[in-house]
Amino acid sequence: MKNKIWFITGASQGFGLIFVKKLLDQGHCVVATSRSPEKIIEQVGNNDSLLALKVDLSNQKELDDAMKQCVDKFGSIDILLNNAGYGQLWTFEETSDEEIRKCFEVNFYGTLNATRAALPYMRKQKYGHIFTTASVWGYVGDPYISTYAAVKFATDGWTEALSHELQGLNIGVSCIKPGGFRTNFLETTSMVTGEDKIADYKEARDKYFDNLTNFNKHQDGDPEKYCDFIINLTKKDKVPPLHIFTGRDAYKMAEDKIAKIKKDMEEIQQEATNLHVE
């Protein structure tokens, strides 16, 4: 299929907006959702191959309606890109229950809701591909990302399980785990922090966030190359892989963790595997 129909969440800024521009330039049809779809039109302009929709990812009916509009206008939904989300960085103990639940609502349940809306159409047409956007922080836990890591680890595990459920239905699933890219992720439009409540954390936490602020716009990854890479995966004869790490830093972090897991397992393997019923 030369020209595909993409459904993208969180398309008014960052990776999402870059995807929209590139896909339209390449002749694809795009349904781009956001809470502020007018921002998409401002950046892209009117285009017969674009349908920009206002969608609240926590509202299943809005997503169902958006998916129906996609199929009514373009005939199918070939690729779902679950891209919407924001970062929640702070210490766990200083993060409220409300903040944690909101982070899950947008970043995790929004992905589930969009996928739930797409699957009936993909099953009926007997093909499709779903990309979920997690993070290398959904594979490697670092300090001050406990809430965000919980969300992205959940996304990674859910995606892997879903891929097995969809085997035989010609619907592929991939979980993207990006490292650091020069988007607006570390800015206030995409990242939420908390309030200074506990003195024991202050010195180390403040140092971490000072370094993070200086790191903004100096990340290793190029967002344009990232979007080109994902789009190109859909043009190959092979189905995109389930686990997609993007960026040199993501590969290094993942490889270090794999080595650490292997070391931990080998250290206690004899005792840990001698627990069976005789």
Q: How far, in Å, are 153, 189, 206, 208 from residue 211 at the CA level?
A: 24, 19, 9, 5
pLDDT at 57 over 90: yes
Q: pTM for the complete prediction?
A: 0.93
Compute CA 72 distance to the chain's CA centroid, rounded to the nearest angstrom: 26
Question: Can you tell me which residue has the tokens 């998916």?
Answer: 67
Q: Is 11 left (phi over 0), alpha (psi -120 to 50) or beta?
A: alpha
Average pLDDT over residues 34-62: 95
Residues sharing a CB contact under 8 Å with residue 67, sequence separation 6 or more, in sequence order: 7, 77, 117, 118, 121
pLDDT at 186: 65
Query: pLDDT tens across 110-165, in order?
Result: 999 999 999 999 999 999 999 999 999 999 999 999 999 999 999 999 999 999 99
- Of the candidates 236, 120, 220, which has an alpha carbon nearest to the alpha carbon of residue 174? 236
pLDDT at 214: 73
Give the integer Cα–Cα distance in Å for 248 and 259. Answer: 17
Query: pLDDT tens across 157-193, in order?
Result: 999 999 999 999 999 999 999 998 888 776 766 778 8
Domain range list for the chain: 5-269
Q: Which amino acid is at 186?
A: L
pLDDT at 218: 73
Average pLDDT over residues 265-277: 96
| % of the chain residues with pLDDT over 70 | 97
Average pLDDT over residues 4-12: 96
Give me the chain's average pLDDT, please: 93
Identify whether the C-beta of residue 173 lies closer than 8 Å to the C-beta of residue 166: yes
pLDDT at 25 over 60: yes
CATH of domain 5-269: 3.40.50.720
pLDDT at 2: 58
Identify whether the C-beta of residue 132 lies closer than 8 Å to the C-beta of residue 157: no
pLDDT at 93 over 80: yes
Give the integer Cα–Cα distance in Å for 115 and 183. Answer: 25
Query: pLDDT tens across 201-256, in order?
Result: 999 998 988 887 777 777 888 999 999 999 999 999 899 999 999 999 999 999 99
